[in-house]
C-alpha cells in the first residue's frame, strides 16, 4: 500500500509500535528466534516510507483536506535501519554502525562507562527527546526503536529504586505511553513535565489543578479546536508537534522544521491564539504563552510557594511531585539525572533540594549549557548524542567490556 495521506502514515506508525512491542516482549522472554514475520513487517514499513513521493528532497504527503505537507523522515528511517542491524547482525554490528554515523562514538561510550564505574544508583530520572531518544520531526511518529528499549530496560534493572522518564509531552492522547516500547514494569512514565505520571504498577497520578484553572483550560482547548476547524488552519494539526493536550498545558505547532507552512499563515494562527488568550485571560492570571518559533506553548501558572506570585510549572516541580507521591527516599540517595536542554536543569536542582547525591549525564554540544550543568552538578559527564548515552548505560548495566 502506497502512503499518500498523513492519516495513512500515522496508522502505519501505530502498527510499527505494535510490531516493536511484540519483538521486545519476545526478546525479554529469551526466545531463541524472533518470528520472521516481525522482521518482514519492519522491512515492509521501511520500504513503504521510502516509496513516498518526494519533492525538493522531502517526502510529500497530503492532509485530509488535500493540503501538501513536506516531511523529512530521517528519524523514522534511520531507527528502522538500526533495528534491522541489531536484530539481524547483533549488538556489535549496531555499535559499528553507530560509530560510523557519530564522531568519537566508541571513545565517548568507553569514557562514559568509566565515569559510571563503581557507582550504584538508587534512582534514575531522565528526559526523553534529545536525551535518551533521537529527535523526530513529529512527536506521534517518534516510536521508540527496539534497540533503544532493550538498552534502557537493561539499565533500569541495575537501579535499586525507581527509574523515571520525564517529558514535557503529554502522557495520553498521542503521548508518551503511545510511543514507548520498553516493558511497562521498567519505568515510571511522566508527561506534561511531571504533572501526570503512571507508576510501574499502572497506578495513575495527576498534579492537582484548581477547579477554576481547569475550567479555563477546557475553555481554551475548545476554542483552539474551533480555530483548527477553519480550512486555512487545519494543517496545523499534522505538522511538528501538532495539537497536544497536556495536563496543565496545551501545545500547538505553528511551523515545522521544514517550514511547510507559509509564514504569513503561521503568523495568522499565532495572532488568533493571542487574541483568544486576551479574551479568556485579560489579566494574565491563568496562562502564559511561549512561542518557540515552531510551537505555541500555553501554560497554566502555579503559585510560587504560598505567595501570590506565580511561575511556570517546570520539570523540577514534577520531580518533587513524583517523589512525594511515590514516597521516594531521596536524602543522601545516589541519583542519576540525564537531560539535554536548559529545561532539564530544574530536574537537577530539584534533586539537590531533595538532598540526593546527584550524578548527571547531559547530551549537548552547547558550551554555555555544559557550564550551567557543571555549576549545579559537579559530578557531570557530557556526551554528544542520545545513541552514545543509551549505549553507555547499557554497557555499564551489563558490565560488558567495550570493543575497540
- pLDDT tens-place string over residues 33-63: 777 888 899 999 999 999 999 998 999 998 8
Cβ atoms of residues 179 and 187 within 8 Å = no
- Residue 310 is predicted with a pLDDT of 61
CA Rg value for the chain: 21
Classify 263 as helix, strand or coil: helix
- Residue 308 is predicted with a pLDDT of 56
In degrees and rounded to multiples of 5, residue 107 shows phi and psi of -65, -45
- Residue 248 is predicted with a pLDDT of 86
Cβ atoms of residues 312 and 299 within 8 Å = yes
- pLDDT tens-place string over residues 76-102: 999 999 999 999 999 999 999 999 999
Instruction: Give the Cβ contact number of residue 364 at 10 Å.
Output: 21
Classify 380 as helix, strand or coil: strand
Buried/exposed code over 381-395 (b: 16+ C-beta within 10 A; e: otherwise): bbbebbbbbbbbbbb
Residue 335 neighbours by CB under 8 Å, 6+ apart: 121, 122, 123, 124, 125, 351, 356, 357, 358, 359
Report how far residue 92's alpha carbon sits from residue 371's, in angstroms, rounded to the nearest whole number.
Answer: 34
Burial of residue 90 (CB within 10 Å: 0-12, 13-18, 19+) is exposed
DSSP-assigned letter for residue 350: H
Any bridge partners for residue 380, and if so which? Answer: 360
- Residue 210 is predicted with a pLDDT of 87
- Residue 304 is predicted with a pLDDT of 62
Beta strands in 259-356 (DSSP E): 287-291, 295-303, 310-312, 334-339
DSSP-assigned letter for residue 35: -
Task: Report residue 91 as a C-alpha cell.
Answer: 549488538
Any bridge partners for residue 286, and if so which? Answer: none
Burial of residue 366 (CB within 10 Å: 0-12, 13-18, 19+) is middle
- pLDDT tens-place string over residues 335-391: 999 999 999 999 999 999 999 999 999 999 999 999 999 999 999 999 999 999 999
Report how far residue 120's alpha carbon sits from residue 125's, in angstroms, rounded to the nearest whole number.
Answer: 14
Q: Kindly state the helix (H) or strand (E) to which residue 199 belongs, with its residue range.
A: none
Low-confidence ranges of the chain (pLDDT < 50): 400-404
- Residue 401 is predicted with a pLDDT of 45
- N- to C-terminal Cα separation, the chain: 43
Amino acid at each position: 500500500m502506497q502512503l499518500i495521506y498523513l492519516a495513512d502514515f500515522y496508522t502505519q506508525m501505530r502498527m510499527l509500535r505494535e510490531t516493536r512491542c511484540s519483538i521486545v516482549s519476545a526478546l525479554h522472554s529469551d526466545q531463541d528466534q524472533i518470528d520472521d514475520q516481525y522482521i518482514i513487517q519492519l522491512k515492509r514499513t521501511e520500504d513503504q516510507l521510502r516509496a513516498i513521493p518526494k519533492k525538493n528532497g522531502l517526502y510529500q504527503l497530503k492532509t485530509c483536506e488535500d493540503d501538501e505537507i513536506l516531511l523529512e523522515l530521517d528519524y523514522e528511517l534511520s531507527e528502522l535501519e538500526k533495528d534491522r542491524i541489531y536484530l539481524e547482525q547483533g549488538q556489535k554490528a549496531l555499535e559499528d554502525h553507530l560509530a560510523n554515523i557519530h564522531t568519537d562514538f566508541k571513545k565517548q561510550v568507553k569514557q562514559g562507562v568509566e565515569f559510571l564505574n563503581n557507582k550504584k544508583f538508587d534512582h534514575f530520572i531522565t528526559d526523553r527527546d534529545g536525551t535518551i531518544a533521537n529527535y523526530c520531526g513529529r512527536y506521534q511518529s517518534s516510536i521508540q526503536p527496539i534497540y533503544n528499549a532493550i538498552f534502557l530496560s537493561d539499565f533500569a534493572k541495575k537501579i535499586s529504586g525507581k527509574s523515571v522518564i520525564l517529558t514535557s509531552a503529554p502522557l495520553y492522547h498521542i503521548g508518551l505511553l503511545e510511543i514507548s516500547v520498553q516493558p511497562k514494569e521498567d519505568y515510571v512514565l511522566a508527561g506534561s513535565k511531571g504533572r501526570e505520571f503512571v507508576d510501574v504498577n499502572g497506578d495513575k497520578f495527576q498534579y492537582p489543578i484548581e477547579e477554576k484553572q481547569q475550567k479555563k483550560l477546557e475553555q481554551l482547548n475548545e476554542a483552539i479546536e474551533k480555530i483548527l476547524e477553519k480550512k486555512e488552519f487545519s494543517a496545523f494539526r499534522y505538522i511538528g508537534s501538532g495539537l497536544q493536550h497536556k495536563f496543565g498545558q496545551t501545545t500547538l505547532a505553528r511551523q515545522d522544521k521544514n517550514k511547510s507552512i507559509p509564514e504569513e499563515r503561521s503568523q495568522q494562527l499565532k495572532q488568533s491564539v493571542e487574541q483568544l488568550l486576551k479574551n479568556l485571560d485579560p489579566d494574565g492570571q491563568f496562562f502564559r504563552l511561549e512561542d518557540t518559533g515552531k510551537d505555541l506553548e500555553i501554560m497554566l501558572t502555579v503559585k510560587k510557594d504560598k505567595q501570590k506570585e506565580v511561575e511556570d510549572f517546570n520539570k523540577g516541580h514534577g520531580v518533587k511531585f513524583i517523589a512525594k507521591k511515590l514516597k521516594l527516599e531521596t536524602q543522601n540517595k545516589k541519583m542519576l539525572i540525564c537531560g539535554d536542554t536548559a529545561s532539564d536543569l530544574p530536574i537537577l536542582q530539584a534533586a539537590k533540594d531533595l538532598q540526593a547525591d546527584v550524578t548527571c549525564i547531559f547530551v549537548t554540544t552547547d558550551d554555555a549549557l555544559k557550564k550551567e550543568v557543571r555549576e549545579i552538578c559537579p559530578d557531570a559527564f557530557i556526551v554528544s548524542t542520545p545513541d552514545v548515552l543509551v549505549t553507555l548505560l547499557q554497557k555499564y548495566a551489563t558490565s560488558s567490556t567495550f570493543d575497540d
